Amino acid sequence: RMDQALLLVRNELPAPGLNLAARSGSCHQCLYQLLAFVPPSNESQKPGTASVVVDTQHPLTLLLNSSVGDRDLCKIQYHFGEFGNYSLVVKTLSTSTQSVSCDLIINEGPINSYLPILFAFLVYMGILAILIAGRLLMKIDPVRNWVYKKLNPRATDRMINSELGSPNTTDSINCDPTLQSWNTGSRQRLRSLDTFRGLSLVIMVFVNYGGGKYWFFKHESWNGLTVADLVFPWFVFIMGTSIALALSSMLRWGSSKWKVLRKILWRSFVLILLGIIVVNPNYCLGPMSWDNLRIPGVLQRLGFTYLVVAALELLFTRADSGTWEGRFPALQDILPYWPQWIFILVLETIWLCLTFLLPVPDCPRGYLGPGGIGDFGKYPNCTGGAAGYIDRLLLGEKHMYQHPSSGVIYQSTMPYDPEGILGTINSIVMAFLGLQAGKITLFYKDQPKQIMSRFIIWGTVMGIISAILTKCSKEEGFIPINKNLWSISYVTTMSCFAFILLLLIYYLVDVKKWWSGAPFLYPGMNSILVYIGHQVFANYFPFKWKMQDSQSHAEHLTQNLTATTLWVVISYILYRRKIFWKI
């Protein structure tokens, strides 16, 4: 099968036989798992054999020991290749010293399962090159005039206007809020924010559809990061940025705080309702029923995070976001909002106290591990420590996510929800850091150098905090980077990346205008529609079809990239028609 290889073990040793066990290189402090018993050679010296299937996604450590006495004979570390055929020959080198050799032989070479990624990259780069060449050709007067003659003039004008301009904005705030310009005379959207949001959303759609079934396009089993772990916090970050700009705009245009608060409450309620009723993975267990309805979720967390951060900002924001006349003008985006910072620090203190001090039955205090076979199997039912315990206590096991990513590598059996209650505190912190990025753009409007320097400073500070918390280690830090837990080190690391990425996009799109933001701009301006749509229609053609070979990364990658591209095309068509779904 995909991501597997065949291993034939040949045992030339006499009785009593061997036990073959394995441990994945991505499984930290895990118990060895028994793969097979290999019988001894018989009286006619015919070796005993056993065939096993081994994982190829990560390096494996193979351990051979005697079935009697548990004497370790040999240990081999090897990264097997997909669809490869291997033999492990165990024989005696010297009868006097009882030394044993274990030789790994490649019978049939593996395939290169990463070639489809290279091919897909070249295809998309080719399409990009064609589009860039076409854009350059359109700058040549004879070519442009010829094209204009062939096309309907009205349609051509409409296309040019839609590409260079932006749809009219409305006074609303939501998860895809309307952004105002940096001067009150123009109402043009800040395209870098839509581009950032769209980039996060496109990656999210791709990994949700399967990511070609590659392990690095799936969520990390526990500690660490993969591509799939980047996108959700980025989406939360840019939501916070948009809140700052949208609230400032609405208040500047005369909306009362009570009116804005009603809109915040309504949109938060709708987001949470959509997450519970429409986008609920527990539908795979059968028709919706309160008995197995998952309560947490992505939209639920977005809705609640939006409610807290938007209400917090509304409480302290000013309609006029001009220069602050305090003693430290360099901190004008921080000091006027010291009550907000106190609130966020109190929230983070609550997270730290609950995480490290809350007693969890049959688990050590401050446990941050995956349970299962991790930590040498000492705490099999402690998945997530306090975070998992709080969810099971308040929500009930049947109302949580039933198939956490830790179940694959660490073989944990306890339900665990990565969008649970305790982790929501740190998603609020993530959105608040995004809010700071929005305040920077407000306080330093028309000063791109100041904005970019502030982004660099914030990104550097967040990176330093992450380095201290993690000790620059995947597993050995004070608080490891963990998406399932939404650990504070995960938040600081993702916000570091977000500040730097937003800086690059802002420089290319809004400062130098070397890039229009396409194609990520279009889904970024219709984010809720694309997110809900890709979930609802995930199993419908043309987003999914029956494959000829379901054990092929190439076919999965083709299907997932096609589905993701279709949503980009759909969002482009809606953009051209000025159709934007706002909650």
The tens digit of pLDDT for each residue in 122-161 reads: 999 999 999 888 888 888 888 778 777 777 655 545 544 4
Q: Which residues contact 223 (CB under 8 A, 6 or more apart)?
A: 28, 474, 475, 480, 481, 482
Q: Give domain status of residue 186, yes or no.
A: no
Query: Over the chain, what is the mean pLDDT?
Result: 87
Contact status, residue 22 vs residue 43, Cβ threshold 8 Å: no
Least confident of 36-45, 104-113, 282-291, 549-558: 282-291
Q: What is the pLDDT of residue 153?
A: 53
Is the domain of 86 the same as that of 128? no
Q: What is the pLDDT of residue 68?
A: 77
Amino acid making up residue 543: F
Contact status, residue 78 vs residue 107, Cβ threshold 8 Å: no
End-of-domain residue from the set 81, 108, 135: 108
Q: What is the pLDDT of residue 564?
A: 96
Q: Which of these, 579, 523, 576, lies nearest to 231 by C-alpha position?
A: 523
Is the domain of 243 the same as that of 363? yes
Q: Give domain status of residue 135, yes or no.
A: yes
pTM of the entire predicted model: 0.87
pLDDT category of residue 176 using cuts at 50, 70 and 90 = very low
Q: Which of these, 320, 352, 296, 328, lies nearest to 247 by C-alpha position?
A: 320
Q: What is the pLDDT of residue 318?
A: 66
pLDDT category of residue 45 using cuts at 50, 70 and 90 = confident
| CATH number for the domain harbouring residue 39 | 2.60.40
Q: Give domain status of residue 206, yes or no.
A: yes
Is the domain of 232 the same as that of 366? yes
Q: How many domains does the chain have?
A: 3
d(CA 371, CA 311): 37
Q: Which residues are identified as catalytic?
A: 219
Q: What is the pLDDT of residue 239?
A: 95
Is the domain of 68 the same as that of 89? yes
Contact status, residue 439 vs residue 456, Cβ threshold 8 Å: no
Is the domain of 506 the same as that of 555? yes
Range of the domain at 128: 116-149
Is the domain of 412 the same as that of 271? yes
pLDDT (tens digit per residue) in 274-304:
988 877 665 555 666 777 888 898 999 999 9
Identify the three-state secondary structure at position 71: coil
pLDDT category of residue 165 using cuts at 50, 70 and 90 = very low
Is the domain of 142 the same as that of 59? no
Is the domain of 373 the same as that of 233? yes
Is the domain of 99 the same as that of 121? no
Q: How far is CA 87 from CA 80, 103, 244, in A?
A: 11, 8, 61
Is the domain of 252 the same as that of 103? no
Q: What is the pLDDT of residue 248?
A: 86
End-of-domain residue from the set 47, 78, 108: 108
Task: Inform me whether the pLDDT recorded for 167 exceeds 90.
Answer: no
Q: Give domain status of residue 286, yes or no.
A: no
End-of-domain residue from the set 108, 134, 169: 108
Q: Give domain status of residue 166, yes or no.
A: no
Is the domain of 53 the same as that of 121? no
Phi, psi of 134, rounded to the nearest 5 degrees: -65, -40
What is the side-by-side order of every strand in the sheet holding 33-38?
A: 33-38, 18-24, 60-66, 72-78
Contact status, residue 16 vs residue 67, Cβ threshold 8 Å: yes
Q: Give domain status of residue 284, yes or no.
A: no
Is the domain of 501 the same as that of 401? yes
Preceding peptide of 418 cis, ω within 30°: no
Q: Give domain status of residue 322, yes or no.
A: no
